[in-house]
Amino acid sequence: MAKGIMNVYSCGGTGINIGRHIANRSQEFNSDAFADREIYFLDTSASNLGGLTAKDPNVYIYEDADGAGKNRRHVANVIMENVNPVLLKFKPAEINIVIASNSGGSGSVIAPSLISELLSRGENVIFFGVNSYEDRKALENVIASMKTYESISKLREKPVVACLFENTPEMSENAVNKRISDNVIMLSALFSRNNEGLDTQDLRNWLNYDKVTG
């Protein structure tokens, strides 16, 4: 049986940092027990790419944006205009993971734009979000992000399956990144197509639980 395939859409600075963390662990978890993971990096500027470049085939930089500076509205239009081009370049897989900060500017707009379109296409998608509250603007962005996901769920009439984490004095940014990386790798085992008694439709129903239960 063919292995499962997982896409990881790493959005904005926080998402890209976590995506790189997952990529660096790929050799540890590349057996038949894990789905193949394709990791993509999306941002409104190249400043967060680290060792990557804008010419990397797995990188998408939104043109005419040059960063958001925590201002979601500044990049909203250009991001929304490029939803379909992104998914044309990085075609959805059997399971799609979207990772972003809810408190920043670019990632907190890129992630919901992708999730909304993936849900409209009937794709399997799970969101990993990071909240932080270092200033008033970050808090306002978290609230706005949560309202956005509520609106998406109502619009698509589907649940937005999400796993949320918080950067706190007790749980550092590095610790949160590690936990999300662990969770994504465990999900790649779940979607490996190598679990006895657990087929693709079982997993689809698990995510789209509203179809099988009240």
- Segment 141-156 mean pLDDT: 95
Band of pLDDT at residue 29, cut at 50, 70 and 90:
confident
- Segment 188-195 mean pLDDT: 93
Contact 106, 67 (CB under 8 A): yes
pLDDT for 70: 63
pLDDT at 1 exceeding the cut of 80: no
Report the C-alpha gap between 71 and 69 in whole angstroms.
Answer: 5
Q: Residue 175 carries which side chain, given as an amino acid letter?
A: A
Contact 4, 193 (CB under 8 A): yes
**pLDDT one-digit tens code per residue, 94-137:** 999 999 999 987 899 999 999 999 999 999 999 999 998 888 98
Region of residue 166 (phi > 0: left; psi between -120 and 50: alpha; otherwise: beta): beta
Helices 72-81, 107-120: crossing angle, 10 deg rounding? 30
Band of pLDDT at residue 66, cut at 50, 70 and 90:
low
Written as six digits, the tokens of 110 are 């890129």
Average pLDDT, the chain: 90
What is the pTM for the complete model shown? 0.93
Q: Which residue has the tokens 């590349």?
A: 30
pLDDT for 30: 83
